[in-house]
Amino acid sequence: MVQVSRLSPVLLFTALGACASPSTEYPSLAVRDIERVSGTMAVAPAPPMPAPPPATLAALDDLAATALAAHERFLAAAPQARAITDSAAGAQPGSDSWARAQVAIADLEAQRSQAMIALADLDRIYVEATTSAQDTDSISAVRSRIDALVVQQDAVIRSLLATLAG
């Protein structure tokens, strides 16, 4: 054991001496010219995605018509719901005026739900088209229009609920 402990400093100094030797004895770790990558590669353009089938396009038209009809019914019912809610502002929960306002708001929510069902169907169609590698621009356009209607309806319903809460 004594001999190993005497050799340890000697081995340590020998190893350190190797680190201090001239650099010409060891190869450089720098990147060599042959290791540099150069050049370009042309990528072929992706082929255009096929349009959705005619049945899908017809379904888009049907869903848009359903959502627009629900929105028209919503807009027709909104002024009366606003008047009922304004008259019930600050009313106690459970009172007659409060209950009439809740029914009016529920009617608006029912109209909104028709547009939301159409929106959910559009989401399903979008996913199917995406997974089938079809063009989704027409689906996205219809979905954006219906989503904007639902956002508008949500704002009206939130406003009515805030008025009722007083």
Together in a domain, 102 and 71: yes
Q: Count how many domains the chain has.
A: 2
Domain that holds residue 13: 2-33
- Classify residue 46: in a domain, yes or no: no
- Does 23 share its domain with 99? no
pLDDT of residue 48: 87
pLDDT at 4: 56
One domain, residues 106 and 140: yes
Residues 24 and 68 in one domain: no
- What are the tens digits of pLDDT across the range 41-82? 788 888 888 888 889 889 999 999 999 999 999 999 999 999
Whether 49 is in a domain gets the answer no
Residue 59 CB neighbour total at 10 angstroms: 18
Residue 138 has pLDDT above 90, yes or no: yes
Give the CATH number, domain containing residue 143: 1.10.132
Q: 28-39 pLDDT, tens per residue?
A: 788 887 777 777
Residue 22 reports pLDDT greater than 90: no
Pair (146, 107) in one structural domain: yes
Taking CA atoms, 125 is separated from 53, 119, 128, 145, 147, in Å, by 11, 10, 5, 15, 15
Give a yes or no: residue 13 inside a domain: yes
Look-up: residue for tokens 């010409």? Answer: 24
Q: Please report whether residue 47 resides in a domain.
A: no
Q: What does 99-142 look like in DSSP terms, one character per residue? A: HHHHHHHHHHHHHHHHHHHHHHHHHHHHHHHHHTT---HHHHHH
Supply the pLDDT for residue 47: 85
pLDDT of 18 > 70? The answer is no
Q: Residue 13: its pLDDT value, please?
A: 65
Which pLDDT score, from 0 to 100, does residue 20 have? Answer: 58
Pair (86, 147) in one structural domain: yes
Residues 25 and 79 in one domain: no
Q: Are residues 81 and 143 in the same domain?
A: yes
Distance CA 20, CA 23 (A): 8
In this structure, is the dihedral angle defined by the CA atoms of residues 147, 153, 159 and 162, taken in order, positive or negative? negative
Q: What percent of the chain has pLDDT over 90?
A: 57
